[in-house]
């Protein structure tokens, strides 16, 4: 028989306690059930508490105001992030450039494959196509010269090396001090190009061309070979050559230049800016009997078949039919008998709508004006 003496426990008391616990548990469950029954009886018998009256009109108005605020915020975000015409043109320009670079890379790879099969003529044609698509890439002009040298095409070789040097020397200056594999390869290519150009000058008739372009942001090309932004100097074989410009916001300009040995072959190119147009909505109070002037000319005298850079406009100045006019700064003025004169300087932007609000005041009153775009 197991002894509990060492634990300090009384087995009989333990059993009694256990039975007592079971009886207490039974009584507690009964009491709980009775309490729940009484509580349910009270809940059923008690009347429902009166609910506060809901002002549906006020709640609906609150939701409407919140929705209007949300729409205004969304509209503001769209206007803030809306792409301008200039930004769109620049984006499309960069996308075309990236697409041309991808195509040029494919053509250049084809040229290298042709070189591996000793198809130098095909390789030269492909490399020149790649070069035309990506004129800033020195690899294409240098490799075109290599193909031309293998084919003993001296004129093409000279043009290619001369164009390569025009970009490579500027690139080498931008690299700065320090050594790198890229700089080492570039210097080796420059040395090779200088050597071959010196040899080719002995057999070819060449001259030097200096091109200046305004504005200086425009790229300049000679025979579709870029010589740099803002112009530059490049050696050319004597004869007639096509010079052209490429610049965002300006019309393309091209002309032919006859290059002679020893002559000061210089040209100054001034491409014209592209004319852009915007819109003007006029809201003036009082509206009747008001004469509108743009740069001191009555708008009725400016109305024409089309908007022009010289000041002709179209439209009626309303929201449905706004004035269409040259995108630049204008001075607008309103005149009405018995009212103070009203004028303001406005800036019409490309493809944008400028909304002008004007409140004319009688001569005895204080002038108040407002405007927004």
pLDDT digits (tens, 9 = 90+) for 106-153: 999 999 999 999 999 999 999 999 999 998 899 999 999 999 999 999
- Average the pLDDT over 287-304 and give the result: 94
Predicted local confidence at residue 25, as pLDDT = 43
| Residue 264 vs residue 34, higher pLDDT | 264
**Fold adopted by 277-369:** Immunoglobulin-like (2.60.40)
Q: State the pLDDT confidence band at 181, using cuts at 50, 70 and 90.
A: confident
Predicted local confidence at residue 79, as pLDDT = 59
Domain boundaries, the chain: 91-202, 205-274, 277-369
pTM: 0.63
Whether pLDDT at 293 is above 50: yes
Q: Is residue 118 left, alpha or beta, with left meaning phi > 0 and alpha meaning psi from -120 to 50?
A: left
Tens digit of each residue's pLDDT (9 = 90 or more) over 342-352 = 999 999 998 89
CATH of 91-202, one of 1.10.10.10, 1.50.40.10, 3.30.2130.10, 1.25.40.10: 1.25.40.10
- 277-369 has the same fold as 205-274: yes
Predicted local confidence at residue 86, as pLDDT = 77
The burial of 140, by beta-carbon neighbours within 10 Å (0-12 exposed, 13-18 middle, 19 or more buried), is given as: buried
* CATH number 3.40.50.700 is the correct assignment for the domain at 205-274: no
In sequence order, the β-bridge partners of residue 282 are 356
Tens digit of each residue's pLDDT (9 = 90 or more) over 202-221 = 999 999 888 899 888 888 88
Q: State the pLDDT confidence band at 93, using cuts at 50, 70 and 90.
A: confident
| Residue 76 vs residue 337, higher pLDDT | 337
Mean pLDDT check: name the lowest of 11-20, 53-62, 187-196.
11-20
Predicted local confidence at residue 16, as pLDDT = 39
Q: How long is the chain?
A: 373
Whether pLDDT at 13 is above 50: no
Q: State the pLDDT confidence band at 315, using cuts at 50, 70 and 90.
A: very high
In eight-state DSSP terms, residue 5 is: G
Predicted local confidence at residue 173, as pLDDT = 82
Predicted local confidence at residue 8, as pLDDT = 40
Predicted local confidence at residue 49, as pLDDT = 46
The beta strands (E) that lie in the chain are given as: 206-213, 219-222, 225-229, 231-237, 239-246, 254-259, 265-269, 277-285, 291-294, 297-298, 323-326, 329-335, 342-347, 353-359, 368-369
Q: How far apart are the C-alpha atoms of 282 and 370, rounded to whole Å?
A: 12
- Average the pLDDT over 147-171 and give the result: 92
- DSSP character string of 217-279: TSEEEETTEEEEETEEEEEEESEEEEEEEE-TTB---EEEEEE-TTS-EEEEE-PPBPP-EEE
């Amino acid at each position: 028989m197991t002894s509990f003496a060492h634990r300090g426990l009384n087995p009989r008391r333990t059993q009694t306690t256990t039975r007592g616990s079971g009886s207490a548990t039974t009584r507690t469950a009964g009491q709980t059930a009775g309490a729940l029954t009484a509580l349910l009886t009270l809940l059923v018998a008690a009347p429902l508490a009166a609910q506060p009256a809901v002002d549906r009109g006020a709640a609906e108005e609150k939701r409407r105001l919140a929705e209007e605020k949300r729409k205004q915020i969304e509209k503001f975000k769209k206007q803030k992030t809306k792409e301008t015409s200039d930004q769109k043109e620049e984006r499309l320009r960069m996308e075309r450039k990236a697409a041309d670079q991808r195509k040029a890379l494919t053509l250049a790879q084809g040229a290298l494959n042709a070189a591996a099969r000793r198809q130098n003529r095909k390789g030269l044609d492909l490399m020149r196509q790649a070069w035309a698509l990506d004129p800033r890439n020195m690899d294409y002009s240098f490799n075109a010269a290599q193909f031309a040298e293998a084919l003993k095409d001296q004129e093409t070789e000279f043009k290619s090396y001369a164009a390569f040097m025009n970009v490579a020397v500027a690139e080498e200056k931008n690299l700065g001090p320090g050594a790198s594999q890229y700089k080492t390869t570039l210097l080796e290519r420059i040395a090779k190009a200088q050597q071959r150009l010196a040899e080719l000058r002995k057999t070819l008739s060449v001259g030097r061309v200096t091109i200046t372009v305004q504005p200086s942001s425009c790229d300049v090309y000679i025979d579709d070979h870029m010589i740099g932004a803002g112009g530059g100097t490049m050696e050319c074989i004597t004869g007639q050559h096509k010079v052209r410009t490429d610049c965002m916001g300006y019309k393309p300009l091209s002309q032919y230049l006859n290059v002679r040995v020893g002559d000061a072959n210089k040209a100054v190119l001034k491409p014209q800016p592209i004319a852009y147009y915007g819109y003007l909505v006029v809201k003036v109070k009082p509206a009747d009997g008001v004469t509108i002037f743009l740069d001191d000319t009555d708008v009725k005298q400016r109305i024409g078949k089309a908007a022009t850079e010289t000041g002709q406009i179209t439209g009626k100045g309303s929201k449905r039919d706004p004035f269409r006019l040259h995108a630049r700064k204008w001075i607008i003025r309103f005149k009405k008998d018995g009212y103070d004169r009203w004028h303001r300087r406005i800036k019409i932007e490309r493809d944008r709508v400028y909304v002008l609000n004007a409140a004319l005041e009688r001569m005895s009153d204080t002038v108040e004006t407002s405007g927004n775009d």
